[in-house]
Amino acid sequence: MKVLVAGGSGLVGRCLVDLLEQTGLEYVSTYNSRPTKNGHRVNYDNSEELRKFFEMHRPTVCVNCIVQRLTDVCEKNWDETKRVNIDIADRLSRVCAEFGVYLIHISTDYVFDGKSQPNTVGAPTNPLQNYGISKLISEMRVSANTTEYAIVRVPVLYWDVIENLEENAVTLIGKKVLNQIQKTAEDDYSIRRPVYIPDFCKYLLSLIQGPKNGTFHFYNPNDKLTKYEIAKRIADFLGKSHAHIRPSNATNSNMANRPYDTELQDEQYSIDTYSFTPLDEGIRRCFHRLRHPHLFRSPDASNCFLLMDLDGTVLGTDRVHYEAYRAALTSYNIDLSYSDFDRAINYSSIEAILSELGLPVTEFENVKKLKYLNMISSGKNVKLVDGAQEFLENCIERGINLAIVTNTSTKVVEFYKSVVPILNQVSNWICREDYATPKPNDECYKLAVSRFYKNEPYIIGFENTLNGYKALKTTANCVYFITESKYPNYLEATKEDIFIIENFRHFL
């Protein structure tokens, strides 16, 4: 027996490859853009290339994991949906028939309209959107092209071994929980019955080892929730508010039609012979690295080590830095816009902008420092971010280990301490003179860990720029990004798996 995992770089494909390795079964996998274990890049749009691959590797079983699964993407681009979900399944099933290969084709519960439950294998199909239509047609192509096949319909799938939370539909819901400043809505109408991918792959393995022909349903008979209810479960696990997420009972407004409840049932085998990972356990596995004790209400807060940026994060001094750079540049007849400054601190560096302008970096920085020191000399422009005073007081009172890591010089930090007394109570500092390469290099944060970390189980970071986040993410278990929706870096921050908050009032 030799198994071909078509689409081995996808969620199901990666998990199935791992399982095949664990069981010692011979396999080969294919990918399009992201290399995978024992993988080969194959163009499934080319029948001749596919035949040559089959001739070379001689699989006896093929599991088709290739899919465009994003429902709203399918709704907007039928041509691409047809190419991936229909044409590839058609081509692959023909080649499997030609070489006598048993094909396992993964389909979806969205071939049903969800108006009656449960949906047995023989229940009438009536997909409501392009995704379901394309998968139903692919089923028809498979059954027409080969007699050695299993079509497996399955509901929404999720897993914790992912590159980011946007990679599957369940963890994607958690992104709305992480973004604590964006008021949003979540579907509280359609029923989801999530299946943990390793559970599903064990069923696929049973088909690989004991082939059955026909159409089958694999489903979790235990969990039944709306997306809003899943969001609440995630928020509860993380110890976060979900008040910014309102339940929506609107039926598929502004998106592809979703069925109400596509509960699956299959009387051809006993579903009780399979074990299922409860959703709460799946959520724990998916989000455990983002969970930590409440800093001011949990007795376990001493298990936390905090890494905190200074300018713009603890102190609201970013605007002053901008004005200093702008004032310094007027000497060169250059007017620096705030958007260019924001681009520099979030994406590249001020040094890069100076190089683009052909300015002497060292000479200019000296001028800028003088301008900045003059602007803050009265102390009026040096203020803590909202809630930072109380946050630091609570941390110090509770003995929480924290370090402030800044690109600012020791001289300026000492001035900050003279006008912001609470900073004097912070004993752990990494200043610009302590390390060679500035953010986004992670040297500064790694240095802080080497000096001040006391093996606390949780390392929590705080930043306000994307460059700072890049430096921080290699050391922190989870990161709080301080910004506002009006700021240019906000949209980029939402793409990361980080908590987004406006200020330290979030913790108070």
- Report the number of secondary-structure helices (H) and strands (E) in the chain: 19, 17
Bridge partners of residue 404, in order along the sequence: 308, 429
Specify the amino acid at residue 446. Answer: K
Give the pLDDT band (50/70/90) at residue 320.
Answer: confident
**How far apart are alpha carbons 233 and 12 in whole angstroms?**
24
Give the pLDDT band (50/70/90) at residue 332.
Answer: confident
Domains and CATH numbers, the chain: 2-165+193-219+259-275 (3.40.50.720), 299-507 (3.40.50.1000)
Q: Is the pLDDT confidence value at 192 over 90?
A: yes
Report how far Cα 10 is from the mean position of its chain's Cα atoms: 15
pLDDT of residue 156: 96
pLDDT of residue 254: 57
Q: Give the helix/strand (H/E) hosting 133.
A: helix 130-145
Q: What is the DSSP string of 377-409?
A: TTSTT--BPTTHHHHHHHHHHTT-EEEEE-SS-
Instruction: Say which residues have a Cβ less than 8 Å from residue 470's Cβ, sequence separation at least 6.
Output: 439, 440, 442
How large is the average pLDDT for residues 449-471?
Answer: 97
Look up residue 144 and give its two tokens. 């027409």
Give the pLDDT band (50/70/90) at residue 255.
Answer: low
**How far apart are alpha carbons 458 and 290 in whole angstroms?**
9
Cross-sheet strand order for the sheet of 149-154: 39-41, 26-31, 2-6, 61-64, 102-108, 149-154, 214-217
Give the pLDDT band (50/70/90) at residue 234.
Answer: very high
pLDDT of residue 285: 98
Instruction: Look over the chain and give the mean of its residue pLDDT values, rounded to a whole number.
Output: 93
**How far apart are alpha carbons 374 and 254 in whole angstroms?**
53
The 8-class DSSP code of residue 5 comes to E
**How far apart are alpha carbons 414 and 420 in whole angstroms?**
10
**How far apart are alpha carbons 159 and 173 in whole angstroms?**
13
pLDDT 10s digits, 336-376: 787 777 777 777 666 776 777 777 777 777 777 777 777 77
Q: At what angle do helices 350-357 and 338-346 cross, to 10 degrees?
A: 120
Q: What is the dihedral angle through the alpha carbons of 388, 394, 396, 398, rounded to the nearest 10 degrees? A: -160
pLDDT 10s digits, 93-143: 999 999 999 999 999 999 999 999 999 999 999 999 999 999 999 999 999
**How far apart are alpha carbons 472 and 448 in whole angstroms?**
11
pLDDT of residue 253: 55
